[in-house]
Amino acid sequence: MRTLYALFVGIDDYPGAPLRGCVNDVREAEAWLRRQGHVASDIRRLHDGDATLTAVRAGIERHLGRSGPGDTALLWFSGHGSEEPTDAPWEGTGRSQALVCHDSLDDGRPPLWDTELGALLDGIAARGAHVVAVLDCCHSGGATRDGAAVRAMSWRPWWSSPATPGARDGGAQGPQPRRHTLLAACRPQERAHEKVLDGQVRGYFSHALLEALGKLGPSATYGGLHALVEERVRSLSPVQHPALRGGEDRLFLSDDPVPGSPFLLRHTAAGWEVNCGQAHGLRAAGAEFALLDSGGTPRAVVVREVRAESALVDPVGWSPGPVDRGAVFGVTPSALAFPPTAVTLAGDPGVVRLIEAAVAGAPMLSTAAVGTAVSLRVDAGPGWAQVSGGAGRDLPPLPVRSPTDADRVADCLTHLARWQHLRDLVNPDPWLSSLVRITVEPTGVGTVRHSAEGEIVCSYTADHRPPQVMVGVHNDSDRPLWCVLLDLTDRHASSASLYDGDFVGAGRTGWARRGEPVWLYLPPGRTVVPGAFTQDWLKVIVAETELNTAPFVLDAWSPVAPSGARTGGAQGAAADGLLRLTAPPGGRDAGGPAHGPGRWGTAQVRVRTEVP
């Protein structure tokens, strides 16, 4: 049976620099642990004068060190922390951190250095135990490698920095050693605070962590705890930011993995917030996130403001209650919004005015947008317009003699923008994307090679026969995954005919065309002569359950039969540019209603077919 070895260290009685809430913190934490009847625990405590450097070291080495494979070792420290500048090459912050023990203020007695503490904890983890450090002190975000009192201690001159970084392993090849998980009260450069909370002096961080544990219960993950604790502490002190280092998707104190989303929804002082932003690839307001495990009733939120590392969202179709505001939800992107595509107009003023008016009525386009990932250009002459830009082949000039003709140009621009949205489609959550891959393998007809530019180059035979290849979708995960394989051509088309949506078993491969060779040939209108070529982008979209493939299908652009993309007339298109991932239409034969999209991902290769 798993045993939890816990060491609670709380120090208020510092000579000349007392605190008031540290012993309260560890007593409350110990009481919480003892209430967890399903946990077999072996607890030691060091309060005030008992918490000398020697005693803390011994508690880690001799008590927490008893834990073995499958056990958990918990160090909970509440007290003073300190730091000083350093030139040590292993300290990327330029500062060394330390925990201040009870006797560290005695002349000649050192603190517990971050490098020593980290080495002690990682040494226990290397023997198979799950090791957790909860540090409620100043500078705690680096301690293992104000109206309120601060838990900081000024540096003492006899606390000279250690000459080496302790017993940490080097960068040798092989599997990475097990490390401890750190829940810290603040970032390395910050200070932790305490004041009266719920009738007694408490550390902001310890109080918020135990409060979050009470709300989330035994299913609490480190990531979920951090989301609630960070918001609670920030509401008390905007200059204190709790830190988490370790497995966000692991159960607190057990290290058991919990499948879920890295993106979390929580209620903050600014409103509802998802921890997904520009840094993760979220592009524009209007995107939607679906709540995972929403109890059978689909629930979603829509993005109203994209920030650097997060997004402010509003619930759609449901009204959160007080219980929801104190919870944290896993979410996954279910509809992606794209900023308007920048369109540059140049040339004949009369034609430009007609096209400008048409573009103004197309939500996916803007003549004022700058710096977007997709940009298109229109060069106008008397009675005509040439569309260019982006990827794919240039299109023939289009006649522009009336507003109807100008609408066709705007439809063409929207079509190209939608095609590039599909080509560049990536889920900000990379988990499923890392579990699938596409291969293009030769069959003996034509040749297959990889270019320095990252293309897969497939060549015609010497007698001008098109190459034949086998295209595989490989599921490298331990579970069945639903996949659809898109062929995006340089004629600005997207087809799902190669592998139109089916499950691929764990560790298995789904073959395009049900195992028949895929013929790669030049499209109609391109003569098979040396130097001729065409390009395809093969993209697999993978999900935990079936998706509606209509939003991923786009016919090739034709000037005689425009796609209607500008007004939402294209297959699966949305006039506002929103790309939705939904369940297949029509429901299912049995088994209840279809689930939402769940988690999804993409993988892509670029194929060039050429005539040598």
Question: Which tokens in the block code for residue 306?
Answer: 């994209």
CB atoms under 10 Å from CB of 567, counted, come to 16
Q: What is the mean pLDDT of residues 101-112?
A: 84
Q: Are strands 328-336 and 288-291 parallel, antiparallel or unpaired?
A: antiparallel
Q: Is it the case that residue 202 has pLDDT exceeding 80?
A: yes
Question: Which tokens in the block code for residue 32?
Answer: 């919480």
Identify the CA nearest to 434 among candidates 479, 485, 488, 475.
Answer: 475
Strand order in the sheet with 384-388: 365-366, 341-347, 375-381, 384-388, 398-399
How do residues 215-261 score in pLDDT, each as one tens digit?
Answer: 888 778 888 898 889 889 988 998 899 988 877 778 899 888 776 56
Cα 542 from Cα 175, distance rounded (Å) = 28
Identify the CA nearest to 503 among candidates 471, 539, 547.
Answer: 547
CB atoms under 10 Å from CB of 199, counted, come to 6
How do residues 25-82 score in pLDDT, each as one tens digit?
Answer: 999 999 999 998 767 889 999 999 999 999 999 999 999 999 999 999 999 999 998 8
Q: How confident is the model at residue 326 (pLDDT cuts 50, 70, 90)?
A: confident
Question: Which tokens in the block code for residue 327?
Answer: 């919870």
Coil vs helix vs strand at 240? coil
Q: How confident is the model at residue 166 (pLDDT cuts 50, 70, 90)?
A: very low
Q: What are phi and psi of 472, to 5 degrees?
A: -115, 140
Q: Is it the case that residue 171 has pLDDT exceeding 70?
A: no
Cα 71 from Cα 173, distance rounded (Å) = 27
Question: Which tokens in the block code for residue 220?
Answer: 């609490």
DSSP letter string over 550-579? GGG-BPPP-SSS---GGGT-STT--TT--E
Cα 295 from Cα 160, distance rounded (Å) = 56
Return the higher-pLDDT residue of 351 and 580: 351
CA 594 to chain centre: 26
User: Around 354, how many Cα atoms within 13 Å sit in the side-chain half-sphere?
Assistant: 22
**How many degrees, rounded to 5, is the angle at CA 364 between CA 363 and CA 370?**
110
Q: Would you state the pLDDT for residue 378?
A: 94
Q: Would you state the pLDDT for residue 593?
A: 44
Q: Would you state the pLDDT for residue 76?
A: 97
Identify the CA nearest to 605 among candidates 448, 375, 413.
Answer: 448
Under 8 Å between Cβ of 312 and 302: no
Q: What are phi and psi of 315, to 5 degrees?
A: -60, 145
Q: Would you state the pLDDT for residue 387?
A: 93
Q: Would you state the pLDDT for residue 370?
A: 63
Q: How confident is the model at residue 145 (pLDDT cuts 50, 70, 90)?
A: very low
Q: Would you state the pLDDT for residue 456?
A: 97
Under 8 Å between Cβ of 20 and 78: no
CB atoms under 10 Å from CB of 31, counted, come to 10
Q: Give just the sign of the alpha carbon dihedral 366, 372, 376, 381.
A: positive
Cα 315 from Cα 324, distance rounded (Å) = 11
Q: Would you state the pLDDT for residue 231?
A: 87
Return the higher-pLDDT residue of 58 and 109: 58
Q: Tell me the residue length of the chain.
A: 612
User: Was domain 3-155+177-258 assigned CATH 3.40.50.1700?
Assistant: no
Q: Would you state the pLDDT for residue 53?
A: 94
Q: Would you state the pLDDT for residue 189?
A: 82
Cα 419 from Cα 431, distance rounded (Å) = 24
Cα 187 from Cα 180, distance rounded (Å) = 17
Q: What is the mean pLDDT of residues 423-449?
A: 92
Cα 529 from Cα 526, distance rounded (Å) = 9
User: Was domain 432-547+582-610 assigned CATH 2.60.40?
Assistant: yes
Q: How confident is the model at residue 601 (pLDDT cuts 50, 70, 90)?
A: very high
Contact partners, residue 483, CB within 8 Å, separation at least 6 = 436, 473, 475, 499, 501, 502, 503, 504, 510, 540, 541, 542, 543
Under 8 Å between Cβ of 130 and 121: no
Mean pLDDT, all residues of the chain = 85
Return the higher-pLDDT residue of 92 and 181: 181
Q: Would you state the pLDDT for residue 122?
A: 92
DSSP letter string over 34-59? HH-TT-EEEEEEEEGGG--HHHHHHI
Q: Are strands 509-511 and 600-610 parallel, antiparallel or unpaired?
A: unpaired
Sheet strands (E) in 106-205: 112-113, 130-136, 149-150, 181-184, 193-197, 200-203
Q: Is it the case that residue 94 has pLDDT exceeding 90?
A: no
Under 8 Å between Cβ of 494 and 486: yes
Identify the CA nearest to 131 among candidates 70, 52, 206.
Answer: 70
Per-residue H/E/C for 330-366: EEEEEEECCCCEEEEEEECHHHHHHHHHHHHCCCCEE
Cα 590 from Cα 319, distance rounded (Å) = 30
How do residues 460-518 score in pLDDT, each as one tens digit?
Answer: 999 999 999 999 999 999 989 999 999 999 999 999 999 999 999 999 999 999 999 99
Domain ranges of the chain: 3-155+177-258, 266-336, 341-423, 432-547+582-610
Q: Would you state the pLDDT for residue 216?
A: 84
What is the distance in angstroms between the CA of the first residue and the CA of the last residue of the chain?
A: 67
